[in-house]
């Protein structure tokens, strides 16, 4: 678990490839379950997966379907049973707390919302699995700085072209608005791709404004996600927090070579997680 950008996918691959050779990953990011917009939604690539099996990553048609928490509960629990029957280790990885909550809580009421609104329903601490929860956290000012840089990197690596194709092919008109249509990047860039600006200066302004809003909305998302995690923790969920701030601070240091980041990540995040998981498996 953890806010967007905190390194959940990377950690899951580190754990799966080096420590638990029977692990299979169940994606629990509600935008990454849909086919398409891989860069915009930050899906782990095939190369990065290093052969670790992934479930619910780009599996659903964004035009027809909206995957709701109760759908995820049903489908992911079937997959978990399947993985366990093959003596595998299911790792649920992702930032959508509503998905994690629906999957793990003993009794799930699709009508109730434990995270949103002025008077959210109480969080249940009765769980249907024995879970080891790892919460990768990064202090918000540092994470915000990183998220802003990540948006620039996503744009450099083809996010704009991906969205141009999405809008150009008219997919934005057919995609479900309550599903992939909500992915950060889609509403923000809609005006840029759907309104013809004669004036180049104005077009640049619209572009810059979209990028600024993506950065703001991503930082807001991270903050809300941490709020939801704290809500689970306050309700008694035994979440083990791992602080990855130092690794991210190092990433943000201009002259830092990748080596030092990898070293800090290994010591403070990977080793700490392995210890927690091993302890859990021995219990």
Which chain residues interact with ligand ATP by CB under 6 A? 29-32, 41-42, 95-99, 115-116, 182-184, 221, 225, 228
User: H or E stretch including 135?
Assistant: strand 133-137
Of 77 and 182, CB closest to ligand ATP? 182
The SS3 call for residue 117 is coil
Q: What is the closest distance, in whole angstroms, from the C-beta atom of residue 182 to ligand ATP in the complex?
A: 4
Closest CB 3 distance from ligand ATP, rounded Å: 9
Show the tokens assigned to 43. Answer: 């899906």
Least separation in angstroms between CB 258 and ligand ATP? 24
Segments in 91-199 forming alpha helices (H): 97-104, 140-156, 159-168, 171-174, 186-194
> Closest residue to ligand ATP, Cβ-based?
98
Q: Is the Cβ of residue 113 or residue 197 nearer to ligand ATP in the bound state?
A: 113
Rounded-to-integer distance, Cα 91 and Cα 105, Å: 16
Whichever of 40 and 277 has its CB closer to ligand ATP, that residue is 40
Q: CB-wise, 153 or 266, nearer to ligand ATP?
A: 153
> CB of 104: closest distance to ligand ATP in angstroms?
13
């Amino acid at each position: 678990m953890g806010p967007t950008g905190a390194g959940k996918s990377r950690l899951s691959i580190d754990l799966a490839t080096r420590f638990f050779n029977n692990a299979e990953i169940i994606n629990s990011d509600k935008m990454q379950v849909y086919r398409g917009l891989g860069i915009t939604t930050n899906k782990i690539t095939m190369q990065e997966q290093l052969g670790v099996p992934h479930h619910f990553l780009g599996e659903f048609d964004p035009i027809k379907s909206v995957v709701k928490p109760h759908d995820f509960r049903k489908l992911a629990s079937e997959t978990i049973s399947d993985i366990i029957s093959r003596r595998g280790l299911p790792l649920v990885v992702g930032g959508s707390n509503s998905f994690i909550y629906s999957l793990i809580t003993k009794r799930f009421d699709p009508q109730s919302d434990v995270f949103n609104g002025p008077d959210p329903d109480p969080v249940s601490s009765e769980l249907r699995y024995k879970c080891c929860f790892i919460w990768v956290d990064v202090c918000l000012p540092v994470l915000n700085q990183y998220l802003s840089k990540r948006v620039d990197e996503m744009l450099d690596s083809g996010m704009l072209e991906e969205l141009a194709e999405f809008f150009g092919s008219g997919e934005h008109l057919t995609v479900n608005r309550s599903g992939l249509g909500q992915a950060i990047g889609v509403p923000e860039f809609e005006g840029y791709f759907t309104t013809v600006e004669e004036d180049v200066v104005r077009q640049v302004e619209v572009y810059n404004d979209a990028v600024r809003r993506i950065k703001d909305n991503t930082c807001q998302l991270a903050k809300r996600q941490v709020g939801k995690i704290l809500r689970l923790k306050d309700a008694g969920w035994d979440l083990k927090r791992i602080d990855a701030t130092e690794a991210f601070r190092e990433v943000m240091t201009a002259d830092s070579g990748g080596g030092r980041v990898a070293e800090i990540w290994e010591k403070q995040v990977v080793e700490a997680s392995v210890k927690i998981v091993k302890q859990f498996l021995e219990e």
